[in-house]
Chains A and B, each alone.
Chain A
């Protein structure tokens, strides 16, 4: 099941450059939350804070609090936190040295599961959830790199699902894909939200309108507005949101 997130006074720096300024935000469980905003507004940094990936970059700094299911993520070991908070990246990044099967089970296998039978069950379940099983079931031993871009991205989603997270972060997961592959990813996001809390960064406002329950608009490191998607797009409270979604800038 998905878990809820509560972000309190989150600030993040990259070197001396402050990329997030006092973000307060509630993310409900089992919903799709879209993060929109122009380039450099801090949306990627924001999701990368949720699984504590931001801290892995040299020169980065974080302040504030993120509460996952009632517990502060900064009190947890980052490596185990990332098993609860999975992530899918902008560019598909399957492990080049591994087969399709090995890619899917990489997370569980490298965390110690060796039982072949279990691994196979997990691989099939994850690939089915990522709507990729039918396309790859006959060639699980091929390299992950042999798949098309859209398939690679669904492979990466399957790989993230295999570790059974409760939150799934997606950082522009369809921006490197063609329209058909994008559509499949969007359908998938809609199906996955019954099991996961999904936070999706997107450049594409139509995409946010199509798939998100709530939408948050970021600008210059600040959260300008967060509300039900229909409200953000039809009746924004903030002038800046309106300017952005009507295409006046960005």
Chain B
């Protein structure tokens, strides 16, 4: 009698979990399917090689926006990843318990939750207003500011996973702390650190709001990273999708597909390329 009840409850709960999982997956696959369905028809070689057509005309592509997105990701990574990793090393290896590191950790958590549009406005005031130019640099900095707390947190977690016994083994051999960090702790945590950094890159490559105030976007090739606005896929998608032209709507779908593909690639690289160095 009790057993039948237990079995019944077991089946009921299992059913509920399956339904919940299914419900969670439906929007994801629906979204992917919809973007692929709408985007794939407008995707052609021109899309990757040509500049946008004149307003309302058919043809043209998003070559500048694709390149722009890659440039912005590169700038953000060059600034954000080293700073994030260095801060995480400070927090785990040099100063785990002081008020300074507690404050930094708290600030990092707060920064992770700040809406990206606010970061965009602040960077815009700090760089665009000062230099009097929208620029790839300003855009890259705003993305870097979003990345830094993500990189700090993921790197810190990875460094904490390195057993203390490993560091002690290094100390006991008379190795300096600098060498222990560089040659023992970092290589041990390398896979996780790189994965975390790649996921942070993937996270910011779809950001739109901060770029509206900093990189702005344009319809041609950018010649200066510091003086010219630069196009990016998210902003281009935003501009095209809110325009009244059908042709631009189609291109916005194609752009969305390319953007998702880039992010997917970054995620896959993060998951697989650094997965196995074991033997």
B11 at the interface (CB under 8 A from A): no
Q: B277: shortest Cβ distance to chain A, in Å?
A: 9
Q: B241: shortest Cβ distance to chain A, in Å?
A: 47
A residues near B190, Cβ cutoff 8 Å: 97
A residues near B166, Cβ cutoff 8 Å: 93, 95-96
* Distance, CA A91 to CA B96, complexed state (A): 24
1/0 per residue, CB under 8 A from B, across A148-187: the answer is: 0000000010011001000000000000000000000000
Q: Known: A96-B166, A143-B279. Contact between A53 and B187, CB under 8 A? A: no
| Contact yes or no, B171 A160, CB < 8 A | no
Interface window among A19-27, A81-89, A113-121: A81-89
| Contact yes or no, B278 A143, CB < 8 A | yes
Q: B178: shortest Cβ distance to chain A, in Å?
A: 10
| Contact yes or no, A81 B171, CB < 8 A | no
Partner of B168, one of A93, A106, A111, A160: A93
A residues near B173, Cβ cutoff 8 Å: 82-83, 86, 106-107, 110, 159-160, 163
Q: Known: A58-B97, A95-B188, A97-B188. Contact between A81 and B172, CB under 8 A? A: no
Q: In the complex, what residue of chain B is closest to A51 when comparing beta carbons?
A: B172
Partner of B279, one of A81, A96, A142: A142
1/0 per residue, CB under 8 A from A, across B82-107: the answer is: 00000000000000110000000000
B261 at the interface (CB under 8 A from A): no
* Distance, CA A229 to CA B211, complexed state (A): 76
B184 at the interface (CB under 8 A from A): yes
* Distance, CA A182 to CA B170, complexed state (A): 24
| Contact yes or no, B169 A156, CB < 8 A | yes
| Contact yes or no, B184 A97, CB < 8 A | yes
Q: In the complex, what residue of chain A is closest to B182 when comparing beta carbons?
A: A110
Q: Known: A89-B165, A110-B179, A142-B279. Contact between A95 and B172, CB under 8 A? A: no
- Could you tell me the dominant secondary structure of chain B's interface residues? helix
Q: B168: shortest Cβ distance to chain A, in Å?
A: 7
Q: Which of A56, A91, A95, A146 has the most CB of B within 10 A?
A: A95
Q: In the complex, what residue of chain B is closest to A146 when comparing beta carbons?
A: B279
Q: In the complex, what residue of chain B is closest to A145 when comparing beta carbons?
A: B278
1/0 per residue, CB under 8 A from B, across A10-21: the answer is: 000000000000
B244 at the interface (CB under 8 A from A): no
| Contact yes or no, A56 B171, CB < 8 A | yes
* Distance, CA A80 to CA B183, complexed state (A): 18
Number of A-B contacts (CB under 8 A): 79
B residues near A95, Cβ cutoff 8 Å: 166, 169-170, 184, 188
| Contact yes or no, A83 B169, CB < 8 A | no
* Distance, CA A98 to CA B166, complexed state (A): 12
| Contact yes or no, B183 A110, CB < 8 A | yes
Number of interface residues of A (CB under 8 A): 31
1/0 per residue, CB under 8 A from A, across B174-201: the answer is: 1110011001100110100000000000
B163 at the interface (CB under 8 A from A): yes
B residues near A156, Cβ cutoff 8 Å: 169
Q: A153: shortest Cβ distance to chain B, in Å?
A: 12
Q: Known: A95-B169, A142-B279. Contact between A82 and B174, CB under 8 A? A: yes
* Distance, CA A97 to CA B221, complexed state (A): 45
| Contact yes or no, B278 A107, CB < 8 A | no
| Contact yes or no, B172 A86, CB < 8 A | yes
| Contact yes or no, B184 A82, CB < 8 A | no
| Contact yes or no, B172 A87, CB < 8 A | yes
Q: In the complex, what residue of chain B is closest to A99 when comparing beta carbons?
A: B279
Q: B92: shortest Cβ distance to chain A, in Å?
A: 13
A residues near B174, Cβ cutoff 8 Å: 79-84, 107, 111, 163
Q: Known: A89-B165, A93-B165, A143-B278. Contact between A160 and B184, CB under 8 A? A: no
Q: In the complex, what residue of chain A is closest to B179 when comparing beta carbons?
A: A110
Q: Which of A86, A87, A110 has the most CB of B within 10 A?
A: A110
* Distance, CA A243 to CA B171, complexed state (A): 37
A residues near B163, Cβ cutoff 8 Å: 93
Q: In the complex, what residue of chain B is closest to A77 when comparing beta carbons?
A: B174
A residues 24-57 in Cβ contact with B at 8 Å: 51, 53, 56
Q: A99: shortest Cβ distance to chain B, in Å?
A: 9
Q: A141: shortest Cβ distance to chain B, in Å?
A: 8
Subset of 25 A-B contacts with CB under 8 Å:
A53-B172, A56-B171, A58-B97, A79-B175, A80-B174, A82-B171, A82-B172, A89-B165, A91-B165, A93-B163, A93-B165, A93-B169, A95-B166, A97-B184, A97-B190, A98-B187, A106-B170, A106-B175, A107-B174, A110-B170, A110-B173, A110-B175, A110-B184, A142-B279, A163-B174
Using A82-B171, A82-B172, A89-B169 as known contacts, list a sample of 20 further A-B pairs with CB atoms less than 8 Å apart, ordered by residue number in A.
A53-B171, A79-B175, A81-B174, A82-B174, A83-B174, A86-B172, A86-B173, A89-B172, A95-B166, A95-B170, A97-B187, A97-B188, A98-B184, A106-B173, A106-B175, A106-B184, A111-B174, A111-B175, A143-B279, A160-B173
